[in-house]
Structure 1
Amino acid sequence: MKFFAVLFLSLLPLWAQAIEVGEPVAPWTLLDQFDQAYTLDGQAKILLVARSMDAAKRVDVALQGQPKGYLEARHAVFVADIQRMPRLVAKLFAVPAMQAYNYRVMLDRDARIAPRYSAPVDNVLWLQLDNGKLVARHEYDSVTQLRQALEQVQP
């Protein structure tokens, strides 16, 4: 009997559906690169999700040269999935390097949040939100396209 319970619980994530346009986005809380908590709420208009180092680098390059508070002014939140990064590397090198960024990075250290939003791993996923509901989704594999999309958003 225990075997079937364990089997059922291990297969449960396979039945989970990706969030669809029109559905509410479940709130979550993550720590940023300064270990400051952030909770997703109805104020967020854009959720940028990077599930790989390449995708996170695209976001970084797209934001280079922008003033501090650029994402916040656009009600945008950036989530980086760093669960594949060895913890020691993250602690000693990656997270300290992120502290030099002039924007916040919500760090999904255990892949609790980013997998909820399906997209190709190397693309930056852009989720457009309205009062906590998903209204549109886009994927960017180009820094130029991502930068242009961010510039279109009025602060």
Structure 2
Amino acid sequence: MHRLLFTLLFCFALSPFSYAEPLHHTSLKDQWDKEHTLTPETQWIVYSHHRAGGEWVRNVLTKLDLAPLKQHKLIYVADISAMPGIISRMFALPKMQDYVFRVALVENAEHVEGWPKKENQITVMQLQSFNVKQVHYFDDEIDLEHFISEHMLQTQRPASEN
């Protein structure tokens, strides 16, 4: 029994994960139609792909006053590809232009094909030179806020506190 368990764990450890591969060097437009590019310095991606999740992210980033996100080595990516174009142009984009932070917008789902996501959850990826080190999922605003304040605000603390 122990041998079987060891063999299964060994095989699992060697098996590839869909998000273990480097993310595409993606360049997306933000809500002001400016290029927003993933760089090797990016350490965090907050990825929303449903409307409620987008509201959670907006609320958390606003409440924690994280603008500019680049200072925290963070990019917020919102997948709006399922939204009809006229709705995004008339309602969503004007609303997003009131945000104090940039939002990289996915208008074509192929740009994020293979990115880890779960239905009705926010994905937070920790990166190292385009490689996904860890993936975290959040199904509510409170847990997302706690995680971001705990992990992403470390860049503002003095080195002695990190």
Shorter-normalised TM range: 0.7 to 0.9
**Match in the other structure for 1:18:** 18
Identity across aligned pairs (percent)? 24
How does the TM-score come out when normalised to structure 1? 0.81
Task: For 1:46-85, list aligned pairs within 5 A.
Answer: 46-67=44-65, 69-85=67-83
**Distance in 1 between residues matched to 2:46 and 2:131, nearest whole Å:** 15
Residue among 103, 106, 129 paired with 1:105: 103
Q: Does residue 141 of structure 1 match 2:139?
A: yes
Partner secondary structure for residue 35 of structure 1: coil
**Match in the other structure for 2:11:** none
Give 1:52 shift: 1.0
How does the TM-score come out when normalised to structure 2? 0.78
Looking at secondary structure, tell me which structure has more helix per residue: 2
Give 1:137 shift: 0.5
Q: Any stretches of 5+ residues in structure 2 without a counterpart?
A: 1-16, 156-162
Check whether the contact 1:119–1:125 (CA below 8 A) recurs between aligned residues. yes
Give 1:93 shift: 1.0
Question: In the comparison of the two structures, how many residue pairs are matched?
Answer: 137
TM-superposition CA deviations, 1:10-59 (whole Å, max 9, x none): xxxxxxx7222xx3222111000000001211010001111111211111
Q: Which AA in structure 1 matches 2:31? A: Q
TM-superposition CA deviations, 1:64-95 (whole Å, max 9, x none): 33336252221111111111111111101110
> For the structure 1 residues 139 and 117, does the alpha-carbon distance in structure 2 shift closer, same or farther, using more than 3 Å as the test?
same
Moved more, 59-68 or 124-133: 59-68
Check whether the contact 1:51–1:114 (CA below 8 A) recurs between aligned residues. no
Q: Any stretches of 5+ residues in structure 1 without a counterpart?
A: 1-16
Task: For 1:120-139, list aligned pairs within 5 A.
Answer: 120-139=118-137
CA RMSD between the two structures? 1.6
**Distance in 2 between residues matched to 1:125 and 1:40, nearest whole Å:** 16
Moved more, 38-47 or 63-72: 63-72
**Distance in 1 between residues matched to 2:81 and 2:22, nearest whole Å:** 25
